[in-house]
Structure 1
């Protein structure tokens, strides 16, 4: 069962969360929990909504204001969304690296320039010897 699918009527969700149904209505008005709606506009709560209601009750019992709770929930939802997006991007990158024929590798040249190499190729290194002598300063021999 999908945890976001709205299945519980308000009385059942209130009982599962250990709250009064009027409290759930208030939280809906404040935007703390947004239950689904039927065609007749009745509220339907999901398993995730009930878990969120329990979290609200816990935070409230710890003295967090409703505005603080709203902000915490907003940030947790944002983190959940960003985590999902990172997972999608990591998967897309892995697919791209595995499925892209003729991948190119890049190296840094001696002058700091970027050099494209074919996959499996190595950069040729210079084996020249350079002798450095400091410039002759005035007053010194």
Structure 2
């Protein structure tokens, strides 16, 4: 269950949940939701594993995407993998995701071109 948040961004009072990339959680809430200490979140940021958004005042703000990344980091550290190796694994996973997304976009574009050619 998510804690009640009273620091919603402007226009957010409609009862809708934030999108997965919308940074709404402070560090203490994010740490609690991730099941780890705030010091771990700071350490992961220091090692480049996580880059939370910052408020205008410089306060760290975490998103559901950040929480998913923290779960992945926790799984990897639980396997005994060090932070330098985790950084490399996450970089490779991110690159793989970007390549898959690009491949899907190119496939969709190709399919649309074929449909246009066949219908004309």
TM-score by length of 2: 0.79
Gaps of 5+ in 2: 1-17
More helix by share: 2
Q: Which stretches of structure 1, 4 residues or longer, exceed 2 Å deviation after superposition? A: 100-103
The structure that has the greater radius of gyration is 1
TM-score by length of 1: 0.68
More strand by share: 1
Higher relative contact order (CA 8 A, sep 6+): 2
Q: Which residue of 2 aligns with 1:106?
A: none
C-alpha RMSD of matched pairs (Å): 1.6
Aligned length: 103
User: Structure 1 CA distance, aligned partners of 2:41 and 2:31?
Assistant: 7
Gaps of 5+ in 1: 104-141
Q: Deviations over 1:86-129 (max 9, x none)?
A: 111011111111113698xxxxxxxxxxxxxxxxxxxxxxxxxx
